[in-house]
Structure 1
Amino acid sequence: MRQALASALAVLVVAAGFIYWIAADLGPRPNFEPYVKPAAAEEMSYLRATYSPLHFRPAIEKAGDEQCLDCHREVLEDKVRKASPAGVQAEAMRAWYQQTPTYAGDQDTFHRRHLVTPLAKQLMNLRCNTCHQGHDPREEAQGASADSAPQSDAGFTLRKQANPETTCLKCHGQYPWQLMGMPGPWEEHKDAFGNNCLTCHAALRTKRHEVTYLNAAAIEEAGQSGADSCYGCHGGRAWYRISYPYARTPWPDMPAEVPDWAKDRPTRSEARFLKQTTGKP
Protein backbone atom coordinates (compact mmCIF):
# COMPACT_ATOMS: atom_id res chain seq x y z
CA MET A 1 0.00 0.00 0.00
CA ARG A 2 2.76 2.39 0.95
CA GLN A 3 4.61 1.57 -2.25
CA ALA A 4 1.53 2.39 -4.33
CA LEU A 5 1.03 5.72 -2.55
CA ALA A 6 4.69 6.60 -3.04
CA SER A 7 4.47 5.80 -6.73
CA ALA A 8 1.30 7.89 -7.11
CA LEU A 9 2.90 10.80 -5.25
CA ALA A 10 5.99 10.62 -7.47
CA VAL A 11 3.84 10.65 -10.60
CA LEU A 12 1.89 13.62 -9.24
CA VAL A 13 5.08 15.57 -8.49
CA VAL A 14 6.51 14.85 -11.94
CA ALA A 15 3.23 15.87 -13.62
CA ALA A 16 3.05 19.10 -11.60
CA GLY A 17 6.65 19.94 -12.50
CA PHE A 18 6.01 19.23 -16.15
CA ILE A 19 2.91 21.43 -16.13
CA TYR A 20 4.84 24.24 -14.40
CA TRP A 21 7.66 23.96 -16.97
CA ILE A 22 5.22 24.22 -19.87
CA ALA A 23 3.36 27.15 -18.28
CA ALA A 24 6.61 29.03 -17.65
CA ASP A 25 7.63 28.60 -21.29
CA LEU A 26 4.30 30.00 -22.48
CA GLY A 27 4.69 33.24 -20.56
CA PRO A 28 5.52 36.55 -22.32
CA ARG A 29 9.17 37.16 -23.16
CA PRO A 30 10.99 40.50 -23.22
CA ASN A 31 11.85 40.14 -26.93
CA PHE A 32 8.63 38.48 -28.01
CA GLU A 33 7.31 39.77 -31.36
CA PRO A 34 3.89 38.53 -32.38
CA TYR A 35 3.65 37.22 -35.96
CA VAL A 36 2.01 39.61 -38.36
CA LYS A 37 1.16 38.42 -41.82
CA PRO A 38 2.89 40.71 -44.34
CA ALA A 39 0.58 42.78 -46.45
CA ALA A 40 0.45 41.84 -50.09
CA ALA A 41 2.36 44.24 -52.31
CA GLU A 42 -0.04 46.63 -53.96
CA GLU A 43 0.08 46.18 -57.70
CA MET A 44 0.12 49.52 -59.47
CA SER A 45 -2.88 49.89 -61.69
CA TYR A 46 -2.62 51.12 -65.26
CA LEU A 47 -4.46 54.32 -64.36
CA ARG A 48 -2.16 55.05 -61.41
CA ALA A 49 0.92 54.38 -63.56
CA THR A 50 -0.41 56.63 -66.33
CA TYR A 51 -0.80 59.53 -63.93
CA SER A 52 2.53 58.97 -62.19
CA PRO A 53 4.18 62.29 -61.23
CA LEU A 54 7.11 61.27 -63.44
CA HIS A 55 4.91 61.88 -66.48
CA PHE A 56 4.42 65.54 -65.56
CA ARG A 57 6.51 68.57 -64.80
CA PRO A 58 8.41 69.29 -62.65
CA ALA A 59 9.20 65.66 -61.73
CA ILE A 60 10.01 64.60 -65.30
CA GLU A 61 12.60 67.36 -65.64
CA LYS A 62 14.76 65.68 -62.98
CA ALA A 63 13.87 62.05 -63.70
CA GLY A 64 16.76 59.68 -64.37
CA ASP A 65 16.80 57.13 -67.17
CA GLU A 66 16.63 54.29 -64.63
CA GLN A 67 13.29 55.64 -63.37
CA CYS A 68 11.86 55.79 -66.89
CA LEU A 69 13.21 52.39 -67.92
CA ASP A 70 11.75 50.78 -64.81
CA CYS A 71 8.43 50.71 -66.69
CA HIS A 72 9.56 51.32 -70.28
CA ARG A 73 12.49 48.92 -70.57
CA GLU A 74 11.05 47.44 -73.75
CA VAL A 75 12.33 50.45 -75.71
CA LEU A 76 15.86 49.08 -75.26
CA GLU A 77 15.17 45.35 -75.07
CA ASP A 78 13.08 45.04 -78.23
CA LYS A 79 15.02 44.30 -81.41
CA VAL A 80 14.10 44.48 -85.07
CA ARG A 81 12.80 41.35 -86.76
CA LYS A 82 15.31 39.12 -88.47
CA ALA A 83 12.89 38.93 -91.39
CA SER A 84 9.83 40.85 -92.51
CA PRO A 85 6.38 39.17 -92.59
CA ALA A 86 6.96 38.70 -96.31
CA GLY A 87 10.18 36.79 -95.62
CA VAL A 88 12.72 39.48 -96.60
CA GLN A 89 15.83 39.09 -94.44
CA ALA A 90 16.88 42.22 -92.56
CA GLU A 91 20.56 41.56 -93.23
CA ALA A 92 19.84 41.61 -96.97
CA MET A 93 18.36 45.13 -96.85
CA ARG A 94 19.79 48.48 -95.84
CA ALA A 95 17.56 50.85 -93.89
CA TRP A 96 17.60 54.56 -94.65
CA TYR A 97 19.76 55.34 -91.62
CA GLN A 98 22.33 52.76 -92.73
CA GLN A 99 23.02 54.78 -95.88
CA THR A 100 25.19 57.27 -93.98
CA PRO A 101 28.85 56.24 -93.65
CA THR A 102 28.93 57.03 -89.92
CA TYR A 103 26.38 54.34 -88.98
CA ALA A 104 27.88 50.94 -88.20
CA GLY A 105 26.14 47.67 -87.44
CA ASP A 106 22.88 45.95 -88.20
CA GLN A 107 19.45 47.52 -88.28
CA ASP A 108 18.21 48.61 -84.89
CA THR A 109 15.15 50.12 -83.24
CA PHE A 110 14.40 53.82 -82.90
CA HIS A 111 15.27 54.27 -79.22
CA ARG A 112 18.32 52.00 -79.35
CA ARG A 113 19.77 54.03 -82.25
CA HIS A 114 19.53 57.14 -80.09
CA LEU A 115 20.74 55.67 -76.79
CA VAL A 116 22.93 52.57 -77.00
CA THR A 117 24.43 52.13 -80.47
CA PRO A 118 28.16 52.92 -80.88
CA LEU A 119 27.45 56.20 -82.70
CA ALA A 120 24.97 57.29 -80.03
CA LYS A 121 27.46 56.63 -77.25
CA GLN A 122 30.29 58.32 -79.14
CA LEU A 123 28.65 61.58 -80.23
CA MET A 124 25.44 61.88 -78.22
CA ASN A 125 24.48 62.10 -74.59
CA LEU A 126 20.73 61.76 -74.93
CA ARG A 127 18.50 61.01 -71.96
CA CYS A 128 14.84 60.03 -71.82
CA ASN A 129 13.80 63.52 -70.75
CA THR A 130 15.89 65.16 -73.46
CA CYS A 131 12.87 64.57 -75.69
CA HIS A 132 10.10 63.51 -73.30
CA GLN A 133 9.01 66.48 -71.21
CA GLY A 134 5.64 65.18 -70.06
CA HIS A 135 2.17 65.35 -71.53
CA ASP A 136 -1.44 65.14 -70.44
CA PRO A 137 -2.60 61.56 -71.11
CA ARG A 138 -6.25 62.62 -70.93
CA GLU A 139 -6.11 65.40 -73.49
CA GLU A 140 -3.61 65.14 -76.33
CA ALA A 141 -4.97 68.12 -78.24
CA GLN A 142 -4.86 71.80 -77.33
CA GLY A 143 -8.08 73.36 -76.13
CA ALA A 144 -9.96 70.06 -75.85
CA SER A 145 -11.23 70.88 -72.36
CA ALA A 146 -11.33 73.73 -69.88
CA ASP A 147 -8.17 72.63 -68.06
CA SER A 148 -6.14 71.23 -70.98
CA ALA A 149 -3.33 73.01 -72.81
CA PRO A 150 -4.71 76.12 -74.55
CA GLN A 151 -4.69 76.53 -78.31
CA SER A 152 -1.98 79.17 -77.95
CA ASP A 153 0.46 76.74 -76.29
CA ALA A 154 3.04 76.14 -79.04
CA GLY A 155 5.08 73.92 -76.73
CA PHE A 156 2.41 71.25 -76.83
CA THR A 157 2.33 69.14 -79.98
CA LEU A 158 -0.85 67.48 -81.16
CA ARG A 159 -1.01 63.81 -80.13
CA LYS A 160 2.74 63.42 -79.71
CA GLN A 161 4.63 62.44 -76.56
CA ALA A 162 7.55 64.65 -77.56
CA ASN A 163 7.75 68.01 -79.29
CA PRO A 164 9.56 67.36 -82.60
CA GLU A 165 10.01 71.07 -83.32
CA THR A 166 12.31 71.43 -80.31
CA THR A 167 13.90 67.96 -80.26
CA CYS A 168 13.88 65.83 -83.43
CA LEU A 169 14.34 68.80 -85.74
CA LYS A 170 17.68 69.64 -84.11
CA CYS A 171 19.34 66.64 -85.78
CA HIS A 172 16.87 65.74 -88.53
CA GLY A 173 16.32 69.02 -90.35
CA GLN A 174 17.42 70.11 -93.81
CA TYR A 175 20.86 71.51 -94.55
CA PRO A 176 20.29 75.29 -94.96
CA TRP A 177 22.72 75.87 -97.82
CA GLN A 178 20.85 79.02 -98.90
CA LEU A 179 21.65 80.78 -95.60
CA MET A 180 25.32 79.87 -95.94
CA GLY A 181 25.65 81.39 -99.39
CA MET A 182 26.50 78.06 -101.00
CA PRO A 183 25.69 77.42 -104.67
CA GLY A 184 23.60 74.36 -103.85
CA PRO A 185 23.08 71.37 -101.50
CA TRP A 186 26.11 69.97 -99.71
CA GLU A 187 25.96 66.62 -101.49
CA GLU A 188 26.39 68.39 -104.82
CA HIS A 189 29.20 70.75 -103.81
CA LYS A 190 31.06 69.06 -100.94
CA ASP A 191 34.08 68.28 -103.12
CA ALA A 192 34.66 72.01 -103.65
CA PHE A 193 35.18 72.29 -99.88
CA GLY A 194 37.28 69.16 -99.59
CA ASN A 195 34.32 67.39 -97.99
CA ASN A 196 35.31 69.10 -94.75
CA CYS A 197 33.10 71.50 -92.82
CA LEU A 198 36.13 72.94 -91.05
CA THR A 199 37.23 74.56 -94.30
CA CYS A 200 34.93 77.38 -93.18
CA HIS A 201 33.96 76.48 -89.63
CA ALA A 202 37.47 76.47 -88.24
CA ALA A 203 36.91 80.21 -87.82
CA LEU A 204 33.12 80.63 -88.10
CA ARG A 205 30.60 79.82 -85.35
CA THR A 206 33.26 78.09 -83.30
CA LYS A 207 31.07 78.07 -80.15
CA ARG A 208 29.02 75.00 -80.96
CA HIS A 209 27.72 71.71 -79.57
CA GLU A 210 28.17 72.89 -75.97
CA VAL A 211 24.92 71.36 -74.72
CA THR A 212 24.20 68.50 -72.35
CA TYR A 213 22.75 66.15 -74.97
CA LEU A 214 25.90 66.13 -77.14
CA ASN A 215 29.51 65.08 -76.59
CA ALA A 216 31.12 68.24 -77.92
CA ALA A 217 34.75 67.07 -77.76
CA ALA A 218 33.97 63.82 -79.61
CA ILE A 219 32.04 65.69 -82.31
CA GLU A 220 34.89 68.13 -82.89
CA GLU A 221 37.35 65.25 -83.11
CA ALA A 222 35.14 63.38 -85.58
CA GLY A 223 34.79 66.53 -87.68
CA GLN A 224 38.56 66.71 -88.17
CA SER A 225 38.48 63.65 -90.41
CA GLY A 226 35.74 64.86 -92.75
CA ALA A 227 32.20 66.12 -93.06
CA ASP A 228 30.38 62.81 -92.72
CA SER A 229 29.85 63.10 -88.96
CA CYS A 230 28.75 66.73 -89.27
CA TYR A 231 26.46 66.17 -92.23
CA GLY A 232 24.85 63.19 -90.51
CA CYS A 233 23.04 65.58 -88.15
CA HIS A 234 22.94 68.64 -90.40
CA GLY A 235 20.98 67.37 -93.36
CA GLY A 236 22.16 63.81 -93.91
CA ARG A 237 19.30 62.25 -91.94
CA ALA A 238 16.61 64.84 -92.64
CA TRP A 239 13.06 63.90 -91.68
CA TYR A 240 11.64 67.36 -92.29
CA ARG A 241 11.58 69.90 -95.11
CA ILE A 242 12.81 72.72 -92.87
CA SER A 243 16.00 73.30 -90.90
CA TYR A 244 16.35 73.96 -87.18
CA PRO A 245 17.04 77.60 -86.16
CA TYR A 246 20.11 76.98 -84.00
CA ALA A 247 21.12 79.53 -81.42
CA ARG A 248 23.79 81.90 -82.74
CA THR A 249 26.14 81.75 -79.78
CA PRO A 250 28.75 84.53 -79.94
CA TRP A 251 32.23 83.36 -80.91
CA PRO A 252 35.63 85.11 -80.92
CA ASP A 253 35.96 87.73 -83.69
CA MET A 254 32.26 87.41 -84.47
CA PRO A 255 31.19 90.13 -86.96
CA ALA A 256 29.16 92.91 -85.40
CA GLU A 257 26.68 92.94 -88.27
CA VAL A 258 23.90 90.38 -87.88
CA PRO A 259 22.55 88.91 -91.14
CA ASP A 260 18.82 89.19 -91.75
CA TRP A 261 18.20 85.46 -91.30
CA ALA A 262 19.82 85.54 -87.85
CA LYS A 263 18.11 88.61 -86.39
CA ASP A 264 15.45 86.56 -84.63
CA ARG A 265 17.82 83.81 -83.51
CA PRO A 266 18.57 83.38 -79.79
CA THR A 267 22.15 83.86 -78.64
CA ARG A 268 22.27 80.73 -76.50
CA SER A 269 20.65 77.30 -76.35
CA GLU A 270 17.66 76.50 -74.15
CA ALA A 271 18.39 76.85 -70.45
CA ARG A 272 17.67 73.19 -69.72
CA PHE A 273 20.40 72.11 -72.15
CA LEU A 274 23.13 74.46 -70.97
CA LYS A 275 26.08 72.84 -69.25
CA GLN A 276 26.53 73.88 -65.65
CA THR A 277 29.92 75.47 -65.12
CA THR A 278 31.36 76.20 -61.71
CA GLY A 279 33.88 79.00 -61.65
CA LYS A 280 36.79 78.87 -59.24
CA PRO A 281 36.85 81.64 -56.61
Structure 2
Amino acid sequence: MKLEAQFIFFSLLFSMLMMAGNGAFAADGIKGNYEQARWHPIHFKPAIDDATDEQCLSCHQEILDRKVLKKSLAGVSSTATTAWYQTLSSYSGEQDTFHRRHLVTPLAKQVMDMKCNTCHQGSNPRQEAAIPPDHSNTDFTLRKAVNPDICLMCHGANPYKLMGLPSPWSESRNMFQGNCLLCHASIRTTRHQVNFLKADAIEEAGIKDSDVCFGCHGGRQWYRIPYPYPRHSWKGMAKEIPDWAKERPTLSEPRFQIKIKQAAK
Protein backbone atom coordinates (compact mmCIF):
# COMPACT_ATOMS: atom_id res chain seq x y z
CA MET A 1 0.00 0.00 0.00
CA LYS A 2 2.90 2.34 0.76
CA LEU A 3 4.32 1.93 -2.78
CA GLU A 4 0.87 2.43 -4.28
CA ALA A 5 0.41 5.66 -2.32
CA GLN A 6 3.82 6.90 -3.47
CA PHE A 7 2.94 6.15 -7.06
CA ILE A 8 -0.34 8.06 -6.85
CA PHE A 9 1.42 11.01 -5.22
CA PHE A 10 4.18 11.23 -7.82
CA SER A 11 1.70 10.73 -10.66
CA LEU A 12 -0.33 13.70 -9.50
CA LEU A 13 2.76 15.80 -8.84
CA PHE A 14 4.34 15.26 -12.23
CA SER A 15 1.06 15.57 -14.07
CA MET A 16 0.92 19.08 -12.64
CA LEU A 17 4.52 19.71 -13.76
CA MET A 18 3.73 18.51 -17.27
CA MET A 19 0.67 20.74 -17.51
CA ALA A 20 2.70 23.68 -16.25
CA GLY A 21 5.14 23.11 -19.12
CA ASN A 22 2.42 22.97 -21.80
CA GLY A 23 2.58 19.20 -21.87
CA ALA A 24 6.37 18.99 -22.23
CA PHE A 25 8.39 16.63 -20.09
CA ALA A 26 9.72 18.89 -17.34
CA ALA A 27 13.05 17.01 -17.14
CA ASP A 28 15.01 19.88 -15.62
CA GLY A 29 12.90 19.76 -12.49
CA ILE A 30 13.76 16.15 -11.67
CA LYS A 31 17.21 15.49 -13.09
CA GLY A 32 18.71 15.69 -9.62
CA ASN A 33 16.30 13.15 -8.17
CA TYR A 34 16.48 9.71 -9.77
CA GLU A 35 13.78 8.26 -7.55
CA GLN A 36 11.28 10.91 -8.68
CA ALA A 37 12.28 10.55 -12.31
CA ARG A 38 11.74 6.80 -12.43
CA TRP A 39 8.16 7.26 -11.19
CA HIS A 40 7.33 9.96 -13.74
CA PRO A 41 4.00 9.27 -15.57
CA ILE A 42 5.83 9.15 -18.91
CA HIS A 43 7.15 5.73 -17.90
CA PHE A 44 3.64 4.31 -17.56
CA LYS A 45 0.48 3.83 -19.55
CA PRO A 46 -1.12 5.83 -21.07
CA ALA A 47 1.55 8.59 -21.24
CA ILE A 48 4.19 6.28 -22.74
CA ASP A 49 2.04 5.71 -25.83
CA ASP A 50 2.31 9.37 -26.84
CA ALA A 51 5.86 10.00 -25.60
CA THR A 52 8.09 11.64 -28.20
CA ASP A 53 11.75 10.85 -28.81
CA GLU A 54 12.54 14.41 -27.72
CA GLN A 55 10.97 13.73 -24.34
CA CYS A 56 12.78 10.41 -23.91
CA LEU A 57 16.15 11.78 -24.99
CA SER A 58 15.88 14.75 -22.64
CA CYS A 59 17.05 12.30 -19.97
CA HIS A 60 18.48 9.45 -22.08
CA GLN A 61 20.59 11.31 -24.66
CA GLU A 62 23.60 9.15 -23.79
CA ILE A 63 21.84 6.33 -25.67
CA LEU A 64 22.64 8.05 -28.98
CA ASP A 65 25.90 9.69 -27.88
CA ARG A 66 27.48 6.39 -26.94
CA LYS A 67 30.03 5.00 -29.43
CA VAL A 68 31.46 1.57 -30.16
CA LEU A 69 34.80 0.96 -28.43
CA LYS A 70 37.80 1.36 -30.74
CA LYS A 71 39.20 -1.79 -29.18
CA SER A 72 37.55 -4.59 -27.25
CA LEU A 73 38.71 -5.45 -23.73
CA ALA A 74 40.74 -8.24 -25.36
CA GLY A 75 42.54 -5.68 -27.51
CA VAL A 76 40.85 -6.46 -30.84
CA SER A 77 40.29 -3.39 -33.01
CA SER A 78 36.72 -2.78 -34.20
CA THR A 79 38.09 -2.09 -37.69
CA ALA A 80 39.83 -5.47 -37.80
CA THR A 81 36.64 -7.47 -37.33
CA THR A 82 33.26 -7.69 -39.02
CA ALA A 83 30.14 -7.44 -36.86
CA TRP A 84 27.25 -9.75 -37.74
CA TYR A 85 25.16 -6.84 -39.04
CA GLN A 86 27.98 -5.86 -41.43
CA THR A 87 27.81 -9.15 -43.32
CA LEU A 88 25.01 -7.93 -45.61
CA SER A 89 25.45 -5.44 -48.42
CA SER A 90 22.59 -3.32 -47.07
CA TYR A 91 24.76 -2.09 -44.18
CA SER A 92 27.67 0.25 -44.84
CA GLY A 93 30.10 2.09 -42.64
CA GLU A 94 31.82 1.33 -39.37
CA GLN A 95 30.40 -0.63 -36.48
CA ASP A 96 27.80 1.28 -34.52
CA THR A 97 25.79 0.84 -31.35
CA PHE A 98 22.50 -1.02 -31.04
CA HIS A 99 20.26 2.03 -30.59
CA ARG A 100 21.99 4.09 -33.28
CA ARG A 101 21.57 1.26 -35.81
CA HIS A 102 17.81 1.40 -35.21
CA LEU A 103 17.42 5.18 -35.13
CA VAL A 104 20.08 7.26 -36.85
CA THR A 105 22.28 5.23 -39.21
CA PRO A 106 21.73 5.70 -42.98
CA LEU A 107 19.87 2.39 -43.30
CA ALA A 108 17.65 3.19 -40.32
CA LYS A 109 16.73 6.57 -41.76
CA GLN A 110 16.13 5.07 -45.19
CA VAL A 111 13.76 2.20 -44.36
CA MET A 112 12.71 2.60 -40.72
CA ASP A 113 10.61 5.06 -38.78
CA MET A 114 11.23 3.68 -35.32
CA LYS A 115 10.64 5.67 -32.16
CA CYS A 116 11.82 5.08 -28.60
CA ASN A 117 8.36 3.82 -27.61
CA THR A 118 8.21 1.42 -30.56
CA CYS A 119 10.21 -0.93 -28.35
CA HIS A 120 10.09 0.66 -24.91
CA GLN A 121 6.67 0.69 -23.29
CA GLY A 122 7.70 2.06 -19.94
CA SER A 123 9.87 0.93 -17.06
CA ASN A 124 7.73 0.04 -14.08
CA PRO A 125 9.87 -0.26 -10.90
CA ARG A 126 7.18 -2.50 -9.42
CA GLN A 127 7.93 -5.12 -12.07
CA GLU A 128 11.69 -5.32 -11.53
CA ALA A 129 13.38 -8.32 -9.95
CA ALA A 130 13.67 -8.10 -6.18
CA ILE A 131 17.21 -7.66 -4.77
CA PRO A 132 17.96 -9.87 -2.94
CA PRO A 133 15.68 -12.44 -4.66
CA ASP A 134 12.44 -13.24 -2.85
CA HIS A 135 12.00 -16.97 -3.45
CA SER A 136 8.83 -17.05 -1.36
CA ASN A 137 6.94 -14.80 -3.80
CA THR A 138 6.02 -17.42 -6.38
CA ASP A 139 3.31 -15.21 -7.96
CA PHE A 140 5.80 -12.55 -9.11
CA THR A 141 6.30 -12.33 -12.88
CA LEU A 142 9.50 -10.71 -14.07
CA ARG A 143 8.63 -8.34 -16.92
CA LYS A 144 10.97 -7.64 -19.81
CA ALA A 145 11.99 -4.04 -20.46
CA VAL A 146 11.26 -4.81 -24.12
CA ASN A 147 8.83 -7.45 -25.36
CA PRO A 148 10.95 -9.95 -27.37
CA ASP A 149 8.14 -10.18 -29.95
CA ILE A 150 9.10 -6.66 -31.06
CA CYS A 151 12.63 -7.86 -31.86
CA LEU A 152 11.34 -11.06 -33.44
CA MET A 153 9.38 -9.11 -36.07
CA CYS A 154 12.65 -8.15 -37.76
CA HIS A 155 15.08 -10.69 -36.38
CA GLY A 156 13.30 -14.02 -36.76
CA ALA A 157 14.36 -17.00 -38.85
CA ASN A 158 13.69 -17.21 -42.58
CA PRO A 159 10.60 -19.48 -42.96
CA TYR A 160 11.87 -21.01 -46.19
CA LYS A 161 9.79 -24.19 -45.80
CA LEU A 162 6.54 -22.22 -45.54
CA MET A 163 7.61 -20.22 -48.57
CA GLY A 164 8.17 -23.38 -50.60
CA LEU A 165 11.91 -22.85 -50.99
CA PRO A 166 14.10 -25.96 -51.27
CA SER A 167 16.61 -24.63 -48.73
CA PRO A 168 17.35 -21.44 -46.74
CA TRP A 169 17.55 -18.30 -48.88
CA SER A 170 21.29 -18.00 -48.34
CA GLU A 171 21.66 -21.37 -50.10
CA SER A 172 18.88 -21.19 -52.70
CA ARG A 173 19.01 -17.53 -53.71
CA ASN A 174 20.91 -18.27 -56.94
CA MET A 175 18.01 -20.45 -58.11
CA PHE A 176 15.82 -17.33 -57.94
CA GLN A 177 18.38 -14.94 -59.45
CA GLY A 178 18.95 -13.52 -55.97
CA ASN A 179 15.69 -11.62 -56.37
CA CYS A 180 12.99 -11.86 -53.68
CA LEU A 181 10.57 -9.99 -55.93
CA LEU A 182 10.78 -12.68 -58.58
CA CYS A 183 8.00 -14.38 -56.59
CA HIS A 184 6.79 -11.56 -54.38
CA ALA A 185 5.84 -9.37 -57.32
CA SER A 186 2.53 -11.27 -57.26
CA ILE A 187 2.52 -13.09 -53.91
CA ARG A 188 1.78 -11.29 -50.64
CA THR A 189 2.16 -7.89 -52.24
CA THR A 190 0.66 -5.95 -49.29
CA ARG A 191 3.70 -5.71 -47.07
CA HIS A 192 5.23 -3.73 -44.21
CA GLN A 193 1.92 -2.20 -43.09
CA VAL A 194 3.25 -0.97 -39.75
CA ASN A 195 4.00 2.50 -38.48
CA PHE A 196 7.67 1.84 -37.66
CA LEU A 197 8.70 1.03 -41.24
CA LYS A 198 8.77 3.03 -44.46
CA ALA A 199 6.97 0.62 -46.77
CA ASP A 200 7.57 2.47 -50.05
CA ALA A 201 11.27 2.98 -49.30
CA ILE A 202 11.68 -0.71 -48.49
CA GLU A 203 10.09 -1.71 -51.78
CA GLU A 204 12.36 0.62 -53.74
CA ALA A 205 15.48 -0.58 -51.93
CA GLY A 206 14.44 -4.23 -52.28
CA ILE A 207 14.31 -3.91 -56.06
CA LYS A 208 17.94 -2.79 -56.10
CA ASP A 209 19.30 -5.19 -53.47
CA SER A 210 17.58 -8.31 -52.10
CA ASP A 211 19.76 -8.09 -48.99
CA VAL A 212 17.41 -5.31 -47.87
CA CYS A 213 14.64 -7.92 -47.79
CA PHE A 214 16.73 -10.81 -46.46
CA GLY A 215 18.30 -8.59 -43.79
CA CYS A 216 15.04 -8.48 -41.84
CA HIS A 217 13.78 -11.89 -42.93
CA GLY A 218 16.56 -14.16 -41.77
CA GLY A 219 19.76 -12.31 -42.63
CA ARG A 220 20.04 -10.72 -39.19
CA GLN A 221 18.51 -13.62 -37.32
CA TRP A 222 18.49 -13.51 -33.53
CA TYR A 223 15.85 -16.19 -33.03
CA ARG A 224 15.45 -19.75 -34.34
CA ILE A 225 11.78 -19.24 -35.07
CA PRO A 226 10.13 -16.98 -37.67
CA TYR A 227 7.66 -14.26 -36.70
CA PRO A 228 4.00 -15.16 -37.48
CA TYR A 229 3.26 -12.02 -39.50
CA PRO A 230 -0.40 -11.04 -39.98
CA ARG A 231 -1.67 -11.85 -43.46
CA HIS A 232 -2.85 -8.57 -44.91
CA SER A 233 -5.00 -9.40 -47.92
CA TRP A 234 -3.56 -8.65 -51.36
CA LYS A 235 -4.94 -8.48 -54.87
CA GLY A 236 -5.24 -11.99 -56.29
CA MET A 237 -4.95 -13.63 -52.88
CA ALA A 238 -6.21 -17.23 -52.94
CA LYS A 239 -9.42 -17.84 -51.02
CA GLU A 240 -8.07 -21.04 -49.49
CA ILE A 241 -5.87 -20.35 -46.46
CA PRO A 242 -2.89 -22.68 -45.88
CA ASP A 243 -3.02 -24.70 -42.66
CA TRP A 244 -0.01 -22.87 -41.22
CA ALA A 245 -1.74 -19.50 -41.70
CA LYS A 246 -5.23 -20.29 -40.43
CA GLU A 247 -4.59 -18.85 -36.96
CA ARG A 248 -2.82 -15.73 -38.23
CA PRO A 249 -4.43 -12.30 -37.73
CA THR A 250 -5.24 -10.17 -40.75
CA LEU A 251 -4.10 -6.90 -39.17
CA SER A 252 -1.07 -5.81 -37.18
CA GLU A 253 -1.23 -5.13 -33.45
CA PRO A 254 -3.30 -1.96 -32.90
CA ARG A 255 -0.44 0.23 -31.70
CA PHE A 256 1.56 -0.60 -34.83
CA GLN A 257 -1.23 0.02 -37.30
CA ILE A 258 -0.82 2.95 -39.65
CA LYS A 259 -3.16 5.76 -38.70
CA ILE A 260 -4.76 7.39 -41.72
CA LYS A 261 -5.17 11.14 -41.26
CA GLN A 262 -8.70 12.23 -41.95
CA ALA A 263 -9.02 15.16 -44.34
CA ALA A 264 -10.29 18.33 -42.69
CA LYS A 265 -13.96 18.95 -43.39
Q: 1:205 matched to which residue of 2?
A: 188
Q: Structure 1 CA distance, aligned partners of 2:73 and 2:168?
A: 37
Q: 2:145 matched to which residue of 1?
A: 161
- Aligned 8 A contact 1:124 1:213 in 2: yes
Aligned AA for 1:51? Answer: W
Q: Structure 2 CA distance, aligned partners of 1:50 and 1:204?
A: 47
Aligned-residue RMSD, C-alpha: 2.1
| Alignment match of 1:195 (pick from 154, 178, 189) | 178
Aligned AA for 1:250? Answer: S
| Alignment match of 2:240 (pick from 245, 254, 257) | 257
Q: CA deviation at 1:43?
A: 5.5
The SS at the match of 1:189 is helix
- Aligned 8 A contact 2:31 2:37 in 1: no
1:1-281 map, 5 Å? 44-140=32-128, 158-165=142-149, 167-278=150-261
- Aligned 8 A contact 2:90 2:209 in 1: no
The SS at the match of 2:75 is coil
Q: CA deviation at 1:70?
A: 0.6
Q: TM-score, normalised by structure 2?
A: 0.82
Aligned AA for 1:214? Answer: L
Q: Structure 2 CA distance, aligned partners of 1:208 and 1:198?
A: 12
Q: CA deviation at 1:159?
A: 4.6
The SS at the match of 2:126 is coil
Return 5+ residue gaps in structure 1 as ranges: 1-40, 152-157
- Aligned 8 A contact 1:197 1:226 in 2: no
Q: Structure 1 CA distance, aligned partners of 2:62 and 2:162?
A: 41
The SS at the match of 2:218 is coil
Q: CA deviation at 1:279?
A: 5.4
Q: Structure 1 CA distance, aligned partners of 2:167 and 2:147?
A: 30
Q: Structure 2 CA distance, aligned partners of 1:139 and 1:255?
A: 45
Q: CA deviation at 1:253?
A: 1.2
| Structure label with greater radius of gyration | 1
Q: CA deviation at 1:181?
A: 1.4
Aligned AA for 1:193? Answer: F
- Aligned 8 A contact 2:230 2:249 in 1: yes
- Aligned 8 A contact 1:53 1:59 in 2: yes
Aligned AA for 1:173? Answer: G
Q: Structure 2 CA distance, aligned partners of 1:190 and 1:232?
A: 13
Return 5+ residue gaps in structure 2 as ranges: 1-28
Q: CA deviation at 1:94?
A: 1.0
Q: Structure 2 CA distance, aligned partners of 1:211 and 1:93?
A: 34
**Larger helix fraction of residues:** 2
The SS at the match of 1:255 is coil
Q: 1:42 to 1:66 in 2, by over 3 A?
A: closer
Q: 1:15 matched to which residue of 2?
A: none
- Aligned 8 A contact 1:50 1:137 in 2: yes
Q: 1:42 to 1:97 in 2, by over 3 A?
A: closer
